[in-house]
Amino acid sequence: MPRQVVILGSTGSIGTQALEVAAALPSEIQIIGLAAGSNFELLAAQIGHWKPQVAVIFDESKFADLKNAVGNSPTKLLCGMDGLLEAATWPDSDVILGAMMGAAGLRPTLAAIEAGKDVAIANKETLVAAGEIVMRAARERGIKLWPVDSEHSALAQCLLGEDPNTVEKLTITASGGPFWTKTREEIAAARPENALKHPTWTMGRKITIDSATMMNKGLEMIEACHLFGVGMEKIEVVVHRQSIVHSFVSFVDGSVKAQLGVPDMKLPIQWGLLGAARVEGDAPKLDLLSMGTLSFEAPDDARFPAIDLAREAMKLGGTAPAALNAANEIAVEAFLEGQTDFYGVTSCVAHVLERHENSARPALDDVLNADSRARECAREWLQR
Amino acid sequence: MPRQVVILGSTGSIGTQALEVAAALPSEIQIIGLAAGSNFELLAAQIGHWKPQVAVIFDESKFADLKNAVGNSPTKLLCGMDGLLEAATWPDSDVILGAMMGAAGLRPTLAAIEAGKDVAIANKETLVAAGEIVMRAARERGIKLWPVDSEHSALAQCLLGEDPNTVEKLTITASGGPFWTKTREEIAAARPENALKHPTWTMGRKITIDSATMMNKGLEMIEACHLFGVGMEKIEVVVHRQSIVHSFVSFVDGSVKAQLGVPDMKLPIQWGLLGAARVEGDAPKLDLLSMGTLSFEAPDDARFPAIDLAREAMKLGGTAPAALNAANEIAVEAFLEGQTDFYGVTSCVAHVLERHENSARPALDDVLNADSRARECAREWLQR
């Protein structure tokens, strides 16, 4: 019996790769639900191919276009947040892939958990902004959260069969991004087109800029704290240019485990969708004999202040990580549109964090309010 | 309640390090038995310090010396193979560390397994020569075998929580030994003092020469086949000069796991004695941020033919690995005594393998006979 999968964010980078994973494993994975933000054309094509039970377009203004494009179909078509929530809690589903970008992914992911669904979680914001809430809900329902990014999947794979109380440190690898070999002055002068050239991963624009500032590692550190229930003092980052080792777990006895693979999202997507089961799929294989040389370097806070900002936000806890994340989204957008320079991104985030009025033990509304206030504060700083 | 441990081979390299591990973990490990080959002076000192229930000297001619050296003591003193067998099956013991060199370790290890004891296995010969017998006995009694060398411990650690049927390949790392950067001509002219300079590990003389010929990797490949129940076609070797990554497991889905650590036997010894439990002990910690560069290269069968010989012996199965191991012991001894040149070691082993009359599904006596015949055949070839 294949796993019944709903993909929230099926037209994005993770979503389309998840469908390739599913196509390679028809006896393991059945796609029963699809949801997209606004790309109704690709969603319509996916509906034609996969014939899911349900499909959702979040952007209600595209609902008529979607219906036109799909035409006659047994698939139930829905729109808006209500549609997302219905797909996220779809009765026949075994696992929900949460791959919608931004805050739109948060409520459906939480709804899936509360409905007792396992969640393969590719939406960073969900854990960064609302990690406490999400993890508490997962514990209460006894569901499994499968991380779908290479670093956290690596950590989870290394922790299989191990006692989490024996973890001494989680070390997340970072490619270093396009600016690792540049001076602070060169980085300060970088333009969006420079920052968008990532050495090893092909990803969306927002996450590619996050990789250049290394804020993506900061966000991943916060995620790791939540996913694996450890404090920020147990998380470190090591720069590994080749992106072959995806992360390390160090144990109290001195042993270290690592997970490696070709830099390709299909492996963590498949591992998450199958709930840690391993079958031969569409992911490429790593040839250890021709792997060559792997390098590891300490990060550099002077040139890449984002990691420290994330560390500070996580230590504050409460709604501070939500504010960090929201401010970063606004600042990255501004950088991409030429409204601030490269170090303006982290300066903006630092400013917002300083001004942030923290709420400890926040409810979802507190998180969403902190997110809005931080965006507002970031916009004001950028327009100063 | 600490684990009650008997150490067979307490005066050797692994045995003395095991006692350091035990000294660092008094609430985890209690030494209740010690056994040595012939070093009665060190054994007597160990008895004085650890006050075990039982202690054995294998060399019966040293029994009187041992008794004199120990004097009045509550420790029961024994000698010879009968003594080893009694210590190996000592009623109060939870785990036996099998660290006696050579064929002397085989019968006690097997006796321990048959008595239902968990065995931490540091004696290569046991698995190489009698792997089928040992693994069958372990399965029948439902006991656990914990490998105590860095490579197999690494493989076992990477397999925790994984389905063994999803293993695609086990990749054992090799330092390459002192001759990795030399030409075949230079290696051919190598003398014992050159071969005894190992770049990363400090070990006994026999195993250091095995490292120079890379026969130690051949023996480890055979061990890995038995320990993890896989065919030789699933085992490969990668040369990794830094000896930080101790081995890799590749899974069918494209994921690879590795175990890393400072090159130090205390970690695998402790992990084995504690049966995979992890506590902070005496093993040094690996600093990932200052680890630098790790290199990986394919092995070179032209300069290091031992790996192919081991592959061939394991494919033959039966008593062929026992013959390989015995011939290698004799040939290494001859090399150390200047009776043959460096490539004489592998030529001798190849000759013995060619002459070997194999027995499929051997009993222990068949293995011991094959061992004797191979030694004889090797001696004849060396004196030709």
Q: What is the pLDDT of residue B125?
A: 80
Chain B residues with beta carbon closer than 8 angstroms to that of A295: 292-294
Q: Do the Cβ atoms of A260 and B248 come within 8 Å? A: yes
pLDDT at A384 over 90: no
The answer to whether A109 touches A117, Cβ cutoff 8 Å, is: no
CA nearest to B226, candidates B341, B132, B116? B132
The mean per-residue pLDDT over the stretch B206-214 comes to 92
CA nearest to A318, candidates A124, A159, A132? A132
Sorting pLDDT into bands at 50, 70 and 90, what band is B384?
confident
Task: Determine, yes or no, domain membership for A59.
Answer: yes
Describe the crossing of helices A106-114 and A364-382 by its angle, rounded to 10 degrees: 170
| Beta-carbon count within 10 A of A383 CB | 9
Which residue of B288, B289, B296 to mutate against A (max A Cβ within 10 Å)?
A: B288
Chain A residues with beta carbon closer than 8 angstroms to that of B255: 157, 259-261, 267, 271, 278, 283
Name residue B145's beta-bridge partners: B119
Name residue B251's beta-bridge partners: B167
Whichever domain contains B41, its CATH number is 3.40.50.720
pLDDT at A376 over 80: yes
pLDDT at A199 over 70: no
Residue A11: partners with Cβ closer than 8 Å, 6 or more residues away: A36, A37, A39, A42, A43, A46
Name residue B245's beta-bridge partners: B260
Chain B residues with beta carbon closer than 8 angstroms to that of A162: 160-161, 278
Nearest residue in chain B measured CA to CA from A170: B288
- Which of A236, A254, A290 is opposite residue B289, by nearest beta carbon? A236
Q: Do the Cβ atoms of A296 and B279 come within 8 Å? A: no
Cα B240 to chain centroid, rounded: 20
Chain B residues with beta carbon closer than 8 angstroms to that of A168: 285
- Nearest CA to CA, how far is B252 from chain A (Å)? 5
Element (H, E) at B76: strand B76-79
Buried b / exposed e over A15-47, threshold 16 CB at 10 Å, is bbbbbbbbebbeebbbbbbbbbbebbebbbebb
- Which of B163, B171, B253 is opposite residue A288, by nearest beta carbon? B171
- Interstrand relation of B256-260 and B245-251 (parallel, antiparallel or unpaired): antiparallel
Nearest residue in chain A measured CA to CA from B295: A293
Q: Above pLDDT 90, what percent of chain A? A: 92
Q: What is the pLDDT of residue A236?
A: 97
Chain B residues with beta carbon closer than 8 angstroms to that of A289: 236, 238, 296-298
pLDDT at B48 over 90: yes
Q: Do the Cβ atoms of A288 and B157 come within 8 Å? A: no
CA nearest to B314, candidates B353, B348, B355? B353
- Which of B160, B251, B266 is opposite residue A162, by nearest beta carbon? B160
Which residue of B238, B242, B255 to mutate against A (max A Cβ within 10 Å)?
A: B255
- Nearest CA to CA, how far is B372 from chain A (Å)? 37
Which of A52-56, A206-210, B308-312 has the weakest average pLDDT?
A206-210
Chain A residues with beta carbon closer than 8 angstroms to that of B236: 288-289
- Nearest CA to CA, how far is B285 from chain A (Å)? 5
Q: Do the Cβ atoms of A161 and B166 come within 8 Å? A: no
- Which of B256, B259, B294 is opposite residue A286, by nearest beta carbon? B256
Residue A296: partners with Cβ closer than 8 Å, 6 or more residues away: A238, A239, A240, B288, B289, B291, B292, B293, B294
The answer to whether B212 touches B188, Cβ cutoff 8 Å, is: no
Q: Do the Cβ atoms of B260 and A259 come within 8 Å? A: no
Chain A residues with beta carbon closer than 8 angstroms to that of B259: 255-258
Residue B224: partners with Cβ closer than 8 Å, 6 or more residues away: B151, B152, B155, B170, B172, B230, B235
Chain B residues with beta carbon closer than 8 angstroms to that of A254: 261-262, 264, 266-267, 281, 283-286
DSSP class of residue B32? E
Phi, psi (rounded to 5 degrees) for A247: 180, 170
- Interstrand relation of A3-8 and A29-36 (parallel, antiparallel or unpaired): parallel
CA nearest to A146, candidates A18, A11, A291, A254? A18
Q: What is the pLDDT of residue B98?
A: 96
Chain A residues with beta carbon closer than 8 angstroms to that of B293: 293-296
Which residue of B170, B256, B282 to mutate against A (max A Cβ within 10 Å)?
A: B256
Q: Do the Cβ atoms of A259 and B254 come within 8 Å? A: no
pLDDT at A256 over 90: yes
Place of tokens 């709604």: A319
Q: Do the Cβ atoms of B248 and A291 come within 8 Å? A: no
pLDDT at B146 over 90: yes
- Nearest CA to CA, how far is A327 from chain B (Å)? 30
Q: Do the Cβ atoms of A288 and B250 come within 8 Å? A: yes
Task: Determine, yes or no, domain membership for B43.
Answer: yes
Chain B residues with beta carbon closer than 8 angstroms to that of A262: 254
The mean per-residue pLDDT over the stretch B347-353 comes to 98
pLDDT at A8 over 90: yes
Q: Do the Cβ atoms of A166 and B296 come within 8 Å? A: no
**Angle at alpha carbon of residue A64, lines to A61 and A68, rounded to 5°:** 145
Q: Do the Cβ atoms of B281 and A253 come within 8 Å? A: yes
Nearest residue in chain A measured CA to CA from B172: A288
Sorting pLDDT into bands at 50, 70 and 90, what band is A104?
confident
Structure tokens at B269: 């010894």
Nearest residue in chain A measured CA to CA from B164: A278
Task: Determine, yes or no, domain membership for B83.
Answer: yes
CA nearest to B146, candidates B41, B14, B299? B14
Q: What is the pLDDT of residue B207?
A: 85
- Which of B248, B252, B283 is opposite residue A254, by nearest beta carbon? B283
Task: Determine, yes or no, domain membership for A248.
Answer: no
Sorting pLDDT into bands at 50, 70 and 90, what band is B220?
very high
Chain B residues with beta carbon closer than 8 angstroms to that of A253: 267, 270-271, 278-281, 283
Q: Do the Cβ atoms of B286 and A258 come within 8 Å? A: no
Model confidence pLDDT, tens digit, residues B23-45? 999 999 999 999 999 999 999 99
pLDDT at B201 over 70: no
Chain A residues with beta carbon closer than 8 angstroms to that of B243: none
Which residue of A234, A285, A287, A297 to mutate against B (max B Cβ within 10 Å)?
A: A285
**Angle at alpha carbon of residue A32, lines to A28 and A34, rounded to 5°:** 120
Q: Do the Cβ atoms of A296 and B295 come within 8 Å? A: no
- Interstrand relation of A256-260 and A245-251 (parallel, antiparallel or unpaired): antiparallel
Structure tokens at A224: 């790791």
CA nearest to A220, candidates A325, A134, A294, A96? A325
Chain A residues with beta carbon closer than 8 angstroms to that of B271: 253, 255
Q: Side chain identity at A286, as an amino acid letter? A: L
Give Cα separations from B38 to A43, A347, B44, B125, B226 (angstroms): 77, 70, 11, 19, 30
Buried b / exposed e over B347-372, threshold 16 CB at 10 Å, is bbbbbbbeebebbeebeeebbbebbe
Model confidence pLDDT, tens digit, residues B51-88? 999 999 999 999 999 999 999 999 999 999 999 999 99
Work out how many domains chain B is built from and give that number: 1
Q: Do the Cβ atoms of B288 and A238 come within 8 Å? A: yes
The mean per-residue pLDDT over the stretch A312-332 comes to 96
DSSP conformation letters of B301-331: TTT-THHHHHHHHHHH-TTHHHHHHHHHHHH
Model confidence pLDDT, tens digit, residues A67-84? 999 999 999 999 999 999
Task: Determine, yes or no, domain membership for A334.
Answer: no
HSE of B267, CA atoms in CB hemisphere, 13 A: 25
- Nearest CA to CA, how far is A253 from chain B (Å)? 4
Q: Compute the distance between CA of residue A197 and CA of residue A131 in angstroms, rounded to an integer.
A: 30
CA nearest to A172, candidates A127, A236, A222, A216? A236
Task: Determine, yes or no, domain membership for B188.
Answer: no
Chain A residues with beta carbon closer than 8 angstroms to that of B258: 245, 257-260
The answer to whether A58 touches A80, Cβ cutoff 8 Å, is: yes
Q: Do the Cβ atoms of B278 and A161 come within 8 Å? A: no
Alpha helices by DSSP H, chain A = 13-24, 40-50, 63-70, 80-88, 106-114, 124-141, 150-159, 184-188, 192-195, 205-213, 215-228, 266-273, 306-316, 320-336, 342-355, 364-382
Residue A242: partners with Cβ closer than 8 Å, 6 or more residues away: A200, A293, A294, A295
Q: Compute the distance between CA of residue A70 and CA of residue A211 in angstroms, rounded to an integer.
A: 37
Task: Determine, yes or no, domain membership for B76.
Answer: yes
Task: Determine, yes or no, domain membership for A271.
Answer: no
pLDDT at A295 over 80: yes
Domain housing B98: 3-143
Q: Side chain identity at A137, as an amino acid letter? A: A
Q: Do the Cβ atoms of B279 and A166 come within 8 Å? A: yes
Mean of the per-residue pLDDT values of chain A: 95
The answer to whether A157 touches B257, Cβ cutoff 8 Å, is: yes
Instruction: Look at the pTM and tell me if it is higher than 0.90.
Output: yes
Place of tokens 């993909």: A7
| Beta-carbon count within 10 A of A315 CB | 13
Phi, psi (rounded to 5 degrees) for A280: -70, 120
